[in-house]
């Protein structure tokens, strides 16, 4: 018995205890905890522990986990030189993908796939990737990399390494909320990619590298950059209507809207919407929020009946801009967070693995005679 579903829509391809999505009612839970609860009460470190252990840590466990993560912030020797060798006009997502792949060469046992080894590799990758993004961005600006500060948490340390100044508490918290809300999301395309790769018993680095490649596509995590470009193309709130309707006439998509699973507003968009408004007001970017809000209202009127609502990328664009991030760092930010989810799924897959190997409907010809090259 075979079933064909273009884009694998409606196909259940794995079981997970990590995150749950109810697309009809707009619910997302990590290990049963609603995303809104985590966004308002948790930290990124605690959320990672939750995703990797399927329970919240005790005080002692969280302290130990955080200490362990911070102790790993420093990149392996030789990595900074590799980052510096990247062309300064390369896209950060290509650099990140390449450098995560390169990390495997510094691991004496890159192919070890016990659950314990996979967790260890995941913690290293999580600790190192902020340094990769920050060092590359500084390098292309002609600035020396900033060494990580182990007294700082994940979010604060990243912003510090990027800007060489200690971020404000408000910026740290905003960034942490972004990291929490982007950390996992069922069997999305990049997570599926990671699970497919590890199902061959390949290795953690290959799985995360492949997932980064998937995430950067404009139909997936790359949409946050598309949203920002759109907001920049709209001069004022008054122009939003003509802009959106023009896109519909040309049959173009509005980035940051629509989702394979959600047919209601993505709960992450709800969380990020209030964060974006607050940050936009605080940083003199209210126009970005106002334009976004206007687009949402037009989309609501035009396509909500088709189940097209804002997704996570819509308000994350304004949020990242207000945090002071350059446009081409938006998708890398998504990746820094989603590494938590990818790694959790890799560990879960390793715990009960079966090779992914779907079939394909062959639609080409049969029994075609071979024509020698001189006769073609």
Interface mask toward ligand ACO for 147-186; x: CB under 6 A:
----------------------------------------
Residue 268 DSSP code: H
H or E segment and range at residue 20: strand 19-22
| Ordered alpha helix ranges (H), the chain | 35-41, 44-53, 59-71, 79-84, 92-103, 115-140, 154-163, 169-181, 189-198, 204-215, 223-233, 240-249, 267-282, 286-303, 312-323, 330-351
Binding mask of the shown chain, residues 300 to 339, with x at each position contacting ligand ACO by CB under 6 A? ------x-x--xxx--------------------------
Distance of closest approach, residue 84 Cβ to ligand ACO, in angstroms = 31
Nearer to ligand ACO, 306 or 357 (CB): 306
Q: Which stretch binds ligand ACO (CB under 6 A): 102-110, 252-260, 278-286, 365-373?
A: 252-260
d(CA 29, CA 184): 9
Quick check: 254 binds ligand ACO (CB under 6 A)?
yes
Q: In terms of CB distance, is 306 or 354 closer to ligand ACO?
A: 306
Please name every residue paired with 21 in a beta bridge, in sequence order, or none if there are none.
28
Q: Interacting stretch for ligand ACO, rule CB under 6 A, among 59-67, 78-86, 253-261, 343-351? A: 253-261
Q: Which of 256, 267, 332, 341 binds ligand ACO (CB under 6 A)?
A: 256
Which residues, numbered 4-23, are part of the site for ligand ACO (CB under 6 A)? Answer: 7
- Nearest distance in Å: CB 332, ligand ACO: 14
CB of 357 to ligand ACO, least distance (A): 23
- Coil, strand or helix: which one is 240? helix
> Which CB sits closer to ligand ACO, 158 or 314?
314
Q: Which residues are catalytic?
A: 220, 259, 313
To 5 degrees, how large is the angle CA 10–CA 297–CA 235? 115
Q: How far apart, in Å, are the Cα atoms of 341 and each of 5, 94, 157, 162?
A: 25, 20, 20, 24
Both tokens of 273, joined, read: 């919407």
> With respect to ligand ACO, which residue has the nearer C-beta, 10 or 60?
10
Residue 263 near ligand ACO by CB under 6 A: no
- Integer Cα distance of 334 and 181 in angstroms: 10
Rounded to the nearest whole angstrom, what is the least distance from the CB of residue 189 to ligand ACO in the complex?
A: 7
Applying CB under 6 A, among 167, 186, 258, 267 the residue interacting with ligand ACO is 258
Q: Which of 94, 173, 253, 293 binds ligand ACO (CB under 6 A)?
A: 253
Q: Which of residues 211-240 bind ligand ACO (CB under 6 A)?
A: 219-221, 223
Q: Which of 216, 259, 265, 277 binds ligand ACO (CB under 6 A)?
A: 259
| Residue 269: Cβ within 10 Å count | 24
Beta bridge partners of 20: 29
Using the contact rule CB under 6 A, the part of the chain among 118-126, 131-139, 171-179, 255-263 near ligand ACO is: 255-263
State residue 90 phi and psi, 5-degree precision: -70, 155
* Cβ closest to ligand ACO, residue 117 vs residue 298: 298
Site string for ligand ACO, 43-82 (x = CB under 6 A): ----------------------------------------
What torsion do the CA atoms of 46, 52, 55, 59 make, to the nearest 10 degrees?
-40
Q: What is d(CA 249, CA 43) in angstroms, rounded to the nearest whole number?
A: 43
Q: Which alpha helices (H) appear in 141-202, and where do they start and end?
A: 154-163, 169-181, 189-198
- How many Cβ atoms from other residues are within 10 Å of residue 76's Cβ? 14
* In the complex, residue closest to ligand ACO by CB: 258
Around Cβ 325, how many Cβ atoms within 10 Å?
Answer: 21
**3-class secondary structure, 307:** coil
Nearer to ligand ACO by Cβ, of 123 and 244: the residue is: 244
DSSP assigned state of 58: P
Interface residues with ligand ACO (CB under 6 A) are 7, 188, 219-221, 223, 253-260, 306, 308, 311-313
């Amino acid at each position: 018995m075979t079933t064909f579903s273009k884009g694998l829509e409606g196909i259940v391809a794995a079981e997970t205890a990590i995150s749950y999505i109810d697309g009809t009612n707009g619910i997302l839970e990590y290990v049963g905890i609603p995303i809104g609860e985590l966004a308002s009460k948790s930290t990124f470190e605690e959320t990672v522990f939750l995703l990797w252990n399927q329970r919240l840590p005790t005080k002692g466990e969280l302290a130990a986990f955080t200490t362990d993560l911070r102790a790993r912030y420093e990149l392996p020797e030789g990595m900074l030189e590799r980052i510096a060798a990247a062309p300064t006009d390369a896209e950060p997502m290509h650099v990140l993908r390449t450098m995560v792949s390169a990390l495997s060469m510094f691991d004496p046992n890159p192919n070890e796939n016990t659950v314990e080894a996979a967790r260890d590799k995941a913690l290293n990758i999580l600790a190192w990737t902020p340094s990769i993004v920050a060092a590359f961005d500084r390098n292309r600006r002609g600035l020396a990399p900033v060494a990580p500060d182990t007294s700082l948490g994940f979010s604060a340390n990243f912003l510090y390494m990027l800007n060489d100044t200690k971020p404000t508490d408000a910026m740290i918290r905003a960034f942490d909320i972004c990291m929490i809300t982007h950390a996992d999301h069922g069997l999305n395309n990049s997570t599926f990619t990671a699970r497919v790769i590890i199902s061959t018993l390949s290795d953690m680095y290959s799985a995360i590298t492949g997932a980064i490649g998937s995430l950067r596509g404009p139909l997936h995590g790359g949409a946050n950059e598309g949203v920002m470009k759109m907001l920049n193309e709209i001069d004022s709130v008054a122009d939003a209507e003509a802009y959106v309707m023009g896109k519909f006439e040309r049959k173009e998509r509005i980035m940051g809207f629509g989702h394979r699973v959600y047919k209601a507003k993505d709960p992450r968009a709800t969380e990020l919407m209030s964060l974006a408004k607050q940050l936009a007001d605080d940083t003199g970017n209210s126009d970005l929020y106002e334009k976004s809000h206007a687009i949402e209202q037009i989309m609501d009127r035009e396509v909500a009946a088709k189940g097209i609502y804002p997704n996570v990328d819509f308000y994350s664009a304004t949020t990242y801009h207000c945090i002071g991030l350059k446009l081409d760092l938006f998708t890398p930010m998504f990746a820094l967070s989603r590494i938590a989810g990818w790694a959790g799924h890799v560990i879960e897959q390793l715990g009960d693995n079966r090779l992914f190997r779907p079939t394909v409907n062959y639609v080409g010809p049969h029994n075609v005679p071979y024509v020698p090259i001189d006769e073609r």
